[in-house]
Structure formats: structure tokens, C-alpha cells
Structure 1
Amino acid sequence: MNNVRINNDNYGSAGKYSGASGKAYAKMFYNASTDYFVIQDISLPAGQTNFTLAFGAIFPADDVSLTVSADGAVWKPLVYTGASAYNTWTGTTVGFTLAQPVPKLWIRLAPTGTERAYGLNFDDIRLTTGGGGQQVDLGTGADLRWAELPSNFETPSSDQFVHTTWTTTVSGGKRVRNYTYCYDKRRHNPVWVAYPHHRCYLEGSGRSDEPWAADPALPETQQAKIYPSSAGDVYQYWVADLVTGRYGSGYWSRGHLCMSRERPGKGLEINMQTFRPTNIAPQAAEPSPFGKIWGNIEEAISGGAIPADTLYIVAGCYYENDGWVQKDASNNGALSSLSKDCVMPTHQFKMAVRKKTVQVGKPIQECTADELETIAFWVETLTTSAATEKSQLGQFIVPISEIESKMRMKFFPGIPDAAKSRAGTLSAWY
């Protein structure tokens, strides 16, 4: 649940409809972008398809959507009759028939956005076998690809390696994808990193103690050596000629594309996996303004409130000049026997898509352009821009379609082009 509490007062449901249980009841608030109540993993009798759902409520049906799911991923609506007038406790009964038996059922109540002075209160939810009625097909939607994956996920070029890193959530123990990356084995730097963001990734706390390490999915000769090979190895940085040539001083910092703070968990796999070269872009440190600009971008996309619904993010690099070469496996400019050429990105981007209002379980591929909020940023790696305030981020916003054109690939290929051809607005994200 989110933004739901239990009240225990004289305004409860006791005696106000048949079967009303007492003074305690659930109070849900009315913000459609954040609030919901879900009962999950209800075990159903084998082979049963006819069910009756009953509950008490003080709201008309237009105030709250009622949906059911077989897996919490794809939700289907149930038509019901609520209170005839707001703030009148009413018992409602919903009969439904499943198109095919399923082992589990999830039930979800969510506000539609109508503001109500006393909350969207409900009580006495009961699910029983028998009855039946409106038919519901709880297809799982397994044929849909992960929404964040760019179009070259299935067919990368010969120089590219695509891989998905899996992890386990800290307290829920769910096995989930951490991030998927496309890494350029010739340039020894990332092309893109794509990942979902959700409250389940934020169950832990803290940042690991700099656990820099090679990605085990890729030969070390094909990834930038920006990690120690053994205890005491200090050759884990890029030579910084390009940075000092532009700014007079500075160095290449190791910039997370999937952020460490988006995967908190000190000393845990979920966080430690973000410290691999395949998730790291070279980013100029101060006196370059890049870090401040990029930090503002990260804050705009995912640094605020815990996401109430899934947020899909892609960050990556653009290589306009293959002459931008720096050596890795160095230390203060001194090279090691493992140093090799790395082509540095001339530009970097970060983009995201989410639903404008919470519709947990509705794939974004099934949303219209008007139901989606998108934003994308494009920044020169060695920028000299003075626009380092959050309020100035608009200077770096471009439509996703513009980055698609430069990168010659589709991002979020399942969503409408109309959602990607418009520039996002800061006010919708900050």
C-alpha cells in the first residue's frame, strides 16, 4: 500500500451495511499518482473460475478503480457499484468469472484523482468461490519485452556486448534484474545502461566501500581497467590529457550510469554490482561543470520521492570522435603493463519514461502518449556551460527522438513515437 492507514473511530462501518465488522476501517487518500492498496498472492482453489468479491466503501465507483491480476504485472478492471453518494457506507458485491483458472489472484484499489474530504474509506474485503459474472481474462503479458531495453538489445554490432545483471532485493528477497548494458568492446566504454527503478530496489541502505571490480561477464581485456587487479594496485584510472587540455586541471571520474544510490545496500550484491566498468562512464571532474550538471539530471529523474510506479531509465554515451583516446590502468599519468586505448565519449545522455498517474501493473507499452511522461538530457562530456543550477537544466533537455537519431537506435521501442518526439518539462519531474 501507499498512503493508506487504519482508522479506529466511531465513523467506521459498524452496522451500516450487512456484514459490517466494526469501527476499524482502511482510509486511502486520493492522489492518483501515488496512492494504492493491493492484496497480493491470494491462493485460489485449483480449477475454480467463478468468484464473488464483497467489500464496504463510502465512495462511488468513479472515485476508485478496482482491478485484479494473476501475477501483479498485468491488471484487468472489474466493474462494480459503489456508494450512491460519497460518505455513505455501502456494501457492494462483484461477481466475476475467470477466462481460465489461475493459481493466484491479486486485488487492487486505487484512487482516480477525485479529491474527497474524509478519504476513500473501505472495509471488510472478502473473496469467496462461486457466483461468477463479468468475464475477466488474466493474461500475463509475458510476450512484452522489458520496456527500458533499446532496439539493439537483440542484435548488437560485432563490437558490442549486451548483458543483463541480476540481483536480489534486500528485504523482499525477490530475484530481479539490476540493469542491462551494451558495452563497446573496441572503445572499452559503455554505449548504454538500461534499468527499471522501483521502490523494491530501495529496501537497503548505504553505499559499499568502493568495491571496484571487473565485470565477470566480459573478458578483462575488453573492458576499461578502472579497478584494482590486486591488493595495493593503484593503476585504476584513465590518463586525463583531454580533461586538463580543456580545463587546465582535473581528471576523469568514474560516473555511475545506474546510480549507486538507486541500488542502496552497503556491502550487498545489489549495490556492489554498480561498481563495474560496464556501468561506468568517464566523466570530467572539477573544475569541469559536468559533474554538477549531471548531478542535477540524476536528481531530476530519480533523486526525489520513492517511485510509486515503475520508472524506466536509459543512460549512455555518444562517440562523435574516435580520436578522443585515453589510456586506462594508469595512476597520475603513469601507465602500467595493462594500459590500453579507451575511446572517450563526446556526449552523454540520460532519459526516462513513466506513467503520469499510478497504474501499477499496466505495461507502458499499453499506454497512450498522453498517459506517459518522458524526459531526456544531452550534455557534452567536456562542456564549458555555466548552467549548473537546477533551474537551468532546461538547456540540456531534448526529445528522446533526437537522441534516437544520433544513436541510430530506438529507445523505449514499445511506447508511442508521439511521447518521444516532444521535449519533457522539468516541472513534471522535479
Structure 2
Amino acid sequence: MLKFKPVILSVILLSILTIFVGCGDESQGSASSKAWLAAGTVNCNATTNSIQTQGDRNLTCTATILTQGDTEWCSFDLASSVLETTVAVGKPIYIYMKKNTAASDREATLRVLFSDGYTADFTMTQTSFSVSADYDRAWGEQPLYRAEADYVYKTYYTTLSNGKRVRNYSICYDLDRHVSNWVAYPQHASYWTGRSYEVGGTTQGRTNAWAYDDTQTEYTSSSPYYRVVSRNVTQPAIAEQDQQYIIRSYGQGGYQRGHMLSSASRYNTWETNAQTFYATNMMPQNGSFNGGSWGNLENSERTWAGTGRYDTLYVVTGASFKSSKSISNANGPIAVPSHCWKVMVQARKEFRDKPISECTADELRAIGFIYPNDASADGMTLGDAACSVREVEEFTGFEFFHNLSADGAAVKERLVLSDWGISN
């Protein structure tokens, strides 16, 4: 008997990586009859897909899995092998799949037959196994996946005040150091304008909701202006003891809880801002540096992102550890970054209606910054810290913006300060 592990529907839907919508080969019944495959290609970890149907409400349709190779890996039932099912038109037909652990893609052919004679055939492909399948999305900010025993990759999602569900930021978290190696995110005015919540005192848009990752908080009118209401642990889970304890300040050596994605860049909703106060978004930063030149860079970042529709700035902020310094913490020592850095890429104004993955190097602009994590950095200007993205790659060992085309990636070699309004 073919067995499919039951999964929560929300997790199922997130597991699908849609490459294109499968339209299939059709023969016509009534003009209003239609069927389509939600995803023609899914990744190796996908466990569900669906066939959507529309037409006269009195019709029924029968879906059949015609072929799926030598091994049964998909079914219309979670718990057993069901290769044919009939439903009323208008209801989705769910296809349940096993994860693909093989080194090659596999295909299944499916047919949908309506009671009015309309038919549609589809080919569904599940890609070969990849350790980075859920990570390797076509997001402009995404660095190249690097497998290390202590690295955890995770993305936090949020719903903006316009109702749109979006990614907030992604992390490469180091369990040993208790600090993220990098935090990657899109920078756009829709994330920080149109605040939809209240906060107390002089906090402006800051929730100051210091917490472990996935902690849910809400506003309260008395200081500290928030309370913890629940935890919604999404995968991969990071144990609390593997995170920094940040409910109170570090209280050591002048170090502050430094945001990697700044709070001021995420003022749109309570959840969007509160997620920036997760322990996984913090690094110990020298206090004068954090409040000085680093803050100036964060302000410039938002200026460069602008307010237009096609002006997204793709940013990776990170920490480097060229020394073995650490500070004590309730959950174990936290490594102190010797340097803090950022890299950014953006389509030039006249090309902002194109995905950056389709842009040539001449249609893009890119820049990097490296600062020492000490008081000496407070006096540094943007021009002092500026460098090419390639230089930051060489300094950190990470490869950035891996979804750029081979031609577009050449922009990482360039440093043109005037592109960013920076003087030498």
C-alpha cells in the first residue's frame, strides 16, 4: 500500500515550488469548461499539488493518474494508492506526493475528463533531490547556499497592511556562534510606510518586542508596550537555547543588540516590525558604531530603495568573525563580529520593470560596505567603507546574488560611488 505522510495544509501549500502553471492539452466540451494544473513543476520536497477546475456547477469531472514511472509516488489520497477520483466541477483535486530522494527528475501524466466531454491532459514534473530545494528561490537577495553543519536557513513571512503575504527576511543562522552569518531581504517603501498599529511613548514605529524567533506579540499601553501572546514555530525550528537571550540588553563591554535588518525598515504592521526584534536578527555591535555610521548606512539604504513601484533594493547584511572574541549570555557565549558588512544590488531606474535575474550588468548597480565592529567605525563615511560586492565576497567567503545571470553578475566587480550619490 502506498502511504503518504499527513501534513498540515498550510505547510503543504508552502512546500510547493511553482515554476510554471501547467495548462495541458485540451479538447473542448462546453465553452466554459476549463482545467489547469496549479504547478507543472514542483521541487523535490513538495508533497501536494492540485488540479483546478471551472465550469457549469452541474458537471462532474474525473481525474486519472495515467502514468508515473516504475514507482508509485503520487496519489489522490493521503494514505493509500488512489489513481482515479471524481468530484464536482469547481472543487480542487488534490494530488499527494512523496518527496523525491532520487538524483533524477520524475514525471506523471494526468487526465481530467468532464461529464460534458471536455478533457485536458497534463504532465507534472517533480525535480531531483537537492539539499537546498526549499532555499533556492528566484529572490534577488538570495546568496548561494552553503552547507555547513551549524548553519540553519530560514525565512520569515509577514502580511502587510494591504493584505499581501510577503517574505520579511531570510537568515543563515550559525548555531555555534549564536549569530546569523547574514540576513537577506528586499528593501522597499511598502515595508516601512503606512503604519497600521499603535505604539507607546517615543518608540515611533518600533515595537521593541525583544523575543526568540517565531514569538507572537501584541501591543499593550504600558511599558514595555508589548506582551507575548504565543509562539508559532515554523520549520526549521531553532531551539531557544540556541538563540541569544535578548529580552534585556547584553550589559557587557558597550555592546548593543544590533539589528541586521533594521527596525525602521519594517514599520508597516506590528508583526512585520516585531519580527525584526527576533534574536536571530541580532548581532553584538559596538554602541557608538551602531548608533552612528551604521545607522547612517541604514538610513541611506531606505533612501536608495525609494518609493516607486519597481525600485526594490536587494540587501544582504552580515557579520564576519576574524577574531575569537565573545560575550557571555544566559544561553551561552555569543560570538562578537570583528566586522559588519552589507551588499546591495538594484536595477537602474530605467530598467526597474525587469527582474534583476534578467538584467545585464549595465542595467544594474551594486555596492558593498565593510566596517570594523568597534568605536573607530563611528567616524567612517559611506565612502570610507564602500567597496565592490566582489570584495565583500572575498572578505566573507559567501557568494551573493547568485540568481543574477552570468552577464548580470559582472556588476559585482564594479564600484561606482556616483551611482549611489556617494562622494570619495
Cα displacement string for residues 145-175 of structure 1 (whole angstroms, at most 9, x for unaligned residues): 21111102xx4311111100000011x1000
User: CA separation in 2, counterparts of 1:344 and 1:279?
Assistant: 14
TM-score, normalised via structure 1 length: 0.55
> Which one of 190, 212, 215 corresponds to residue 214 of structure 1?
212
Contact 1:375–1:397 under 8 Å retained in 2: yes
2:388 to 387, 399, 415: 399
Contact 2:292–2:378 (Cα < 8 Å) also in 1: no
| Separation in structure 1 between the aligned mates of residue 262 and residue 32 of structure 2, nearest angstrom | 43
- Give the partner amino acid of 2:393: E
CA distance change for structure 1 residues 222 and 425 in 2, over 3 Å: closer, same or farther?
A: same
Alignment match, 1:325: 326
The 8 Å contact of residues 369 and 387 in structure 2, kept in 1 or not, is answered as yes
Distance in 1 (CA, whole Å) between partners of 2:371 and 2:314 is 20
Give the equivalent residue in structure 2 for 1:252: 255
What is the Cα deviation at residue 200 of structure 1? 2.7
The offset of 1:290, in angstroms, is 4.9
Matches for 1:344-355 after TM superposition, within 5 Å: 344-355=336-347
Question: Where in structure 2 are the equivalents of 1:375-394 lying within 5 Å?
Answer: 375-385=367-377, 387-388=379-380, 392-394=381-383
Contact 1:223 1:278 in 2 (8 A): yes
Kept in 1: contact 2:191–2:268 (CA 8 A)? no
Unaligned runs of 5+ in 1: 1-44, 49-142, 228-235, 242-250, 329-337
Give the counterpart letter for 1:418 in structure 2: A
User: For 1:46 and 1:352, how far apart are their aligned partners in 2?
Assistant: 48
Shift, 1:239, TM fit: 4.6
Specify the code of the residue in structure 1 equivalent to 2:140.
A
Residue of structure 2 equivalent to 1:237: 249
Q: Per the alignment, do residues 381 and 421 of structure 1 end up closer, same or farther by CA in structure 2, a change over 3 Å counting?
A: same
- Map 1:85-164; keep pairs closer than 5 Å: 145-152=138-145, 155-164=146-155
Q: Percentage identity across aligned positions?
A: 33
Question: Would the aligned equivalents of 1:162 and 1:180 in 2 still touch at CA under 8 Å?
Answer: yes
Question: Closer, same or farther in 2 for the Cα pair 1:383/1:362, shift >3 Å?
Answer: same
1:17-416 map, 5 Å: 145-152=138-145, 155-170=146-161, 172-205=162-195, 206-216=204-214, 217-227=237-247, 236-241=248-253, 251-265=254-268, 268-286=270-288, 289-303=289-303, 305-309=306-310, 310-322=312-324, 324-328=325-329, 338-385=330-377, 387-388=379-380, 392-415=381-404, 416=408
Classify the secondary structure of the residue corresponding to 1:317: strand
C-alpha RMSD over aligned residues: 2.4
Give the AA of the match of 2:147.
Answer: P
Residue 423 of structure 1: CA displacement?
1.6
Deviation at 1:275?
A: 0.5
**1:269-314 CA-partner distances (Å, limit 9, x unpaired):** 111111111111211113xx45311112112222463254221111
Secondary structure in 1 aligned to 2:245? coil
1:290–1:269 Cα change, 3 Å: closer
Aligned residues: 256
Displacement of 1:144: 6.1
Give the letter for the 2:262 counterpart: M
Instruction: For residue 359 of structure 1, report the CA deviation from its aligned partner.
Output: 3.8
Q: Could you tell me how far apart the structure 2 residues matched to 1:223 and 1:367 are?
A: 38
Return the alpha-carbon distance in structure 2 between the equivalents of residues 353 and 284 of structure 1: 27
The CA deviation at 1:320 is 0.8
Q: Structure 1 residue 418: deviation in Å?
A: 1.8
Is 2:412 aligned against 1:420? yes
Aligned to 2:293, what secondary structure does the other structure show?
A: helix
Tell me if structure 2 keeps the 8 A contact 1:376–1:424.
Answer: no
Would the alpha carbon gap of residues 393 and 261 (structure 1) be closer, same or farther in structure 2, given more than 3 Å must change?
same
Q: Which whole-Å CA distance do the structure 2 matches of 1:348 and 1:275 have between them?
A: 18
Structure ranking higher on relative contact order (CA contacts 8 Å, 6+ apart): 1
- Could you tell me whether the CA contact under 8 Å between 2:365 and 2:419 is conserved in 1? no
Shift of 1:398: 1.1
TM-score normalised according to structure 2 size: 0.56
Moved more, 312-321 or 296-305: 296-305
Tell me the secondary structure at the aligned position of residue 151 of structure 1. coil
Secondary structure at the counterpart of residue 384 of structure 1? helix
* Structure 1 counterpart of 2:263, one-letter code: S
- Using the TM superposition, give the Cα deviation of residue 181 of structure 1 relative to its aligned residue in structure 2, in angstroms: 0.7
Separation in 1 of the partners of 2:205 and 2:391?
A: 34
